[in-house]
C-alpha cells in the first residue's frame, strides 16, 4: 500500500499566515504538494460552512490559520 498523503485545504489570513506561506517560499522551504490555499481577508471571515464544504469536496483536513 502506498503511503497515505492527506490532502489539506488551508484557509489563511491575508495578513499573517498567507504572508508566512509566501515567506516559506522566499526561504525555499519544502512541504508536500497536497495543500491548497484559499486566501481570506482575516481568520474572522472563516465560516464553519467553508470547512464543511471543503471536507465534502474530499479534503482530508481543513486548516484555518490567522
Partner 1 sequence: MVTFKLNGKTVQGDEGQYILQVAEKYGVDIPTLCHHKALEPAGMCRLCTVELFDGRRTRFVTACNYPIWEGMEVSTDSEMVHDGRKLIVEMLLSRCPEVPLIQNLAQGYGISEPRFKKEEDTCILCGLCTRVCERMGANAISLTGRGVEMKVDTPFGLNTEACLACGACASVCPTGHITLERVNQKHARIAAGLIPSEYDVGLNGRKAVYVPYAQAVPNTPVIDRDVCMHFKTGGCEICAEFCGVDAIDYTMEDEIVELDVGSIILAPGFEPFDPSAFDSYNYINHANVITSMEMERILSASGPFEGHLIRPSDHKEPKKIAWFQCVGSRDVNRCDNSYCSSVCCMYAIKEAVITKEHAGDDVDCAIFFMDMRTHGKDFERFYDKAREKEGVRFIRSRVHTIDSIPGSDDLSLKYVLDDGQMVTETFDMVVLSVGLQTPPEVVELAKKLDIELTAGNFCKTPTFDPVVTSRPGIFVCGAFQGPKDIPQAVVDSSAAAAAAGEILVSARHSNTKEKEVIPETNVINERPRIGVFVCRCGTNIAGVVNVPAVAEYAKSLPYVTYTTDNLYSCSQDTQEVMTAIIKKEKLNRVVVAACTPKTHEPLFQETLVNAGLNKYLFEMCNIRNQDSWVHKTTPDLATEKAKDLVRMAVSKVGLMEPLKETAFEVNQNALIIGGGVAGLTVAKSLGRQGYQTHIVEKGDRLGGQAEKLYRTADGETVKPKLRQLIDEITKNDNITIHLDTELTDVDGFVGNFKSTLSRNGSGNDDETVIEHGVAVIATGGKPYTPSEYHYGEDSRIMTSLMLDQKIMEGDSDLKNLDTAVFIQCVGSRQPDRPYCSRVCCTHSIDSALTLKEMNPDMNIYILYRDIRTYGEREYLYKEARDKGVIFIRYSLDAKPIVEVEDGQLDIELTDPILDRPVKISAGLLCLATAVIPNQDEKLARMFKVSVNDDGFFVERHAKLGPSEFATDGVYLCGLAHYPKPVDESVVQGRAVASRAVTLLAKDKIYTSGQVAETDPAICSACNVCVSVCPYGAPSLTPEDARFFPGTAEINPVLCKGCGLCVASCRSGAIHLKGFDNDQIFAQIFSLDQAVGL
By the criterion CB under 8 A, which residues form the site for partner 1?
A: 5, 7, 9, 14, 18-19, 21-31, 33-34, 36-42, 44-47, 49-50, 53-54, 57-59
Alpha-carbon distance of 34 to 37, in angstroms, equals 10
The string of DSSP letters for 7-26 reads: -EEEEEETTTHHHHHHHHHH
Question: Which three three-digit cell numbers place residue 64?
Answer: 484555518
**Please, what is the minimum distance in Å from the beta carbon of residue 52 to partner 1?**
10
Amino acid at each position: 500500500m502506498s503511503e497515505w498523503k492527506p490532502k489539506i485545504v488551508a484557509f489563511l489570513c491575508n495578513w499573517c499566515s498567507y504572508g508566512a506561506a509566501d515567506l516559506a517560499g522566499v526561504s525555499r522551504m519544502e512541504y508536500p504538494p497536497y495543500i491548497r490555499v484559499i486566501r481570506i481577508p482575516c481568520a474572522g471571515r472563516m465560516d464553519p460552512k467553508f470547512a464543511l464544504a471543503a471536507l465534502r469536496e474530499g479534503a482530508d483536513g481543513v486548516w484555518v490559520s490567522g
